[in-house]
């Protein structure tokens, strides 16, 4: 008779590992942080240090050709309050920024809706509209100067159509600033088109189809379905155009050089460069740059928060 003995096998649980000390992760964390070190150093060297130097220089009367440099406190900022050239430059900058923000956004949205088609032709047209964005502002300015000058292509065409005295797009003080704004809006149009196209591709087709079945018109579908979902794209475009408008320099320098007349198209960025490198008033130009930076930062934060609240509410 055979007896089979069954032995119970007991599984002894492994003791829990003691928690690792944070110190064991520090070497690995340090190695990974080395990858960010070059970018951090470059940002510090080329962004933070110049901002700090600008802030310090704005409190002095620094002029390389008229030493010694003295600390003047807030005198440069006080002088800005009574500087008519600064007031004109600020007004011109606001006008240009407002025009390009409206034109580029409206035109970009319209073109994006027309190009929102999955065909090869529309894909090609998207690249065509984006081309001016990647071109140099100097190149764009030279091309448009040849078009808008008094004897340029546009006025020659108008004369051929029977217009005896075509407008002076760049020589008329009342038109020059709007011509500059038009050129900048034209260059940024492709950027807005691409951003709005990305937003349109994120709108579910089912929503528009359901609204169409319910009897909604094309305008109602755009207002109640498409437009609310384009809020993030609108935020990106508005902030980028605001920054672009306030740093307008290349177009003014190449096309009008601040004219015609006495500072008709002078912008804040143009005045900063002229004051620093033509008048050699580094201290005063630093104050101008600091004020411009503060204005851009304030407006960008206000607009960004307002548009982000709109995104959440919709």
- SS3 state of residue 99: helix
Give the chain's length. 314
Predicted local distance difference test score (pLDDT) of residue 25: 47
Query: What CATH code is assigned to 91-262?
Result: 1.10.3720.10
Q: Cβ of 85: how many Cβ atoms within 10 Å?
A: 15
Split the chain (314 residues) into runs of 10 and give each run's mean pLDDT: 51 57 54 82 94 95 90 95 94 96 96 87 87 94 95 94 92 94 96 94 86 86 89 92 94 92 88 94 96 92 83 59
DSSP summary character for residue 25: T
Q: Parse the chain into domains and list their residue ranges.
A: 91-262
Could you give the CA distance from residue 123 to residue 116 in angstroms, rounded to a whole number?
A: 9
pLDDT of residue 119: 79
- Dihedral sign (CA 159, 162, 165, 166): negative
């Amino acid at each position: 008779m055979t007896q089979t003995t069954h032995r119970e096998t007991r599984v002894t649980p492994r003791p829990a590992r003691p928690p690792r000390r944070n110190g064991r992760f520090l070497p690995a964390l340090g190695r990974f942080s080395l990858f960010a070190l070059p970018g951090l150093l470059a940002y510090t060297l080329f962004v933070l240090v110049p901002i700090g130097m600008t802030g310090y220089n704005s409190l002095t009367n620094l002029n390389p050709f008229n030493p010694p440099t003295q600390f003047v406190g807030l005198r440069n900022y006080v002088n800005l309050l009574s500087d008519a050239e600064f007031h004109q430059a600020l007004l011109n900058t606001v006008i240009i920024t407002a025009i390009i923000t409206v034109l580029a956004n409206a035109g970009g949205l319209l073109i994006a809706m027309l190009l929102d088609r999955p065909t090869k032709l529309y894909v090609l047209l998207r690249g065509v509209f984006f081309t001016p964005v990647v071109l140099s502002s100097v190149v764009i300015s030279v091309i448009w100067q040849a078009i808008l000058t008094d004897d340029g292509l546009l006025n020659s065409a108008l004369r051929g159509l029977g217009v005896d005295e075509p407008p002076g797009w760049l020589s008329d003080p009342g038109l020059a600033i709007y011509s500059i704004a038009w050129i900048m809006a034209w260059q940024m149009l492709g950027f807005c088109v691409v951003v709005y196209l990305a937003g349109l591709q994120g709108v579910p087709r089912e929503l528009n189809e359901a609204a169409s079945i319910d009897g909604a018109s094309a305008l109602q579908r755009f207002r109640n379905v498409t437009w609310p979902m384009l809020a993030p794209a609108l935020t990106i475009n508005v902030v980028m155009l605001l920054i672009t408008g306030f740093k307008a320099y290349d177009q003014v320098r190449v096309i009008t050089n601040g004219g015609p007349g006495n500072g008709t198209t002078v912008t804040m960025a143009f005045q900063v460069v002229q004051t620093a490198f033509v008048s050699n008033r580094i201290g005063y130009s630093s104050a101008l740059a600091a004020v411009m930076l503060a204005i851009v930062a304030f407006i960008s934060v206000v607009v960004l928060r307002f548009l982000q609240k709109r995104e959440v509410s919709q």
